[in-house]
Amino acid sequence: MVFVWFRKETEVKAAIERRMEILEVITRQGKARVENLAERFNVSSVTIRSDLSFLEKNGYIVRFARFGYPERRRNC
């Protein structure tokens, strides 16, 4: 038996909006810490790390240990 879990549409929208706001914060500040982002968005640090991994995998940021997550300049 296989169980498939689907996220509610509202959860998906919330994640998309949060990731866009995280990117705005990083763009404005140049870097951001997981703890600060988790507190700001009232989510766990695990959720923020997942969001940052998504942003990194899609080429929006580069992650640096201990120094936050500076924005990656995209070649357009």
**pLDDT one-digit tens code per residue, 33-58:** 999 999 999 999 999 999 999 999 99
Question: How far is CA 15 from each of CA 2, 8, 67, rounded to the nearest angstrom?
Answer: 25, 11, 24
Res 23 pLDDT > 50: yes
Compute how many other C-beta atoms are within 10 angstroms of the C-beta atom of residue 26.
Answer: 21
Confidence of residue 3 (pLDDT cuts 50, 70, 90): low
pLDDT of residue 76: 46
pLDDT of residue 9: 82
Model-level pTM? 0.77
Percent share of the chain, pLDDT over 70 = 76
Going from N- to C-terminal start, the domains of the chain cover: 9-57
Work out the angle at residue 64's Cα, subtended by the Cα atoms of residues 32 and 70, and round it to the nearest 5 degrees.
45
At which residue do the structure tokens 């240990």 appear?
65
Give the span between the Cα atoms of 17 and 55, in whole angstroms.
12
pLDDT of residue 72: 60
